[in-house]
Amino acid sequence: MKILICEDEAVIALALEDLLEDLGHEVAGSVRDSSAALRVARERGAELAIVDLGLADGWGGPRLIDELSALGVGCIVVSGQAEDLDAPEVTVGVLSKPVDERKLAELISRHAQR
């Protein structure tokens, strides 16, 4: 599956890239802001995005998730405070940082079965 990473912390983005590749997925791109996320999703045909709700670009995660969903891209939300998170209904699921490989694999599988 082609998966887009939307994460502004470089170390976390690299760890997610490695994890996705280990799980056998293609990383469609790794971006640090919402406008780049939308551009890359369109250009590279991302099927799923891992979105950090705390992107520091002023958009806010929910708006990006709505925009990606309108393009047909599923979204997995990642947050340092996931347990307190009220994620948009369109999300595939919510994960806490640091991301648990098994939980991520389950959410990707769930999205693939839709």
Model confidence pLDDT, tens digit, residues 60-97 = 678 899 999 999 999 999 887 655 555 556 578 888 88
Q: How confident is the model at residue 101 (pLDDT cuts 50, 70, 90)?
A: very high
Burial string for 91-110 (b: 16+ CB within 10 Å, else e) reads bbbbbebebeeeebbebbee
Give the model's pLDDT for residue 79.
82
Secondary structure of residue 57 in the 3-state scheme: coil
Q: 7, 16 in Cβ contact below 8 A?
A: yes
The model's pLDDT over 18-51, given as tens digits with 9 standing for 90+, comes to: 999 999 999 999 999 999 999 999 999 999 999 9
Paired residues of 78 in beta bridges:
52, 95
The structure's pTM equals: 0.90
The topology under which CATH files domain 2-112 is Rossmann fold (3.40.50)
Domain coordinates in residue numbering, the chain:
2-112
Distance (Å, rounded) from C-alpha 20 to C-alpha 5? 10
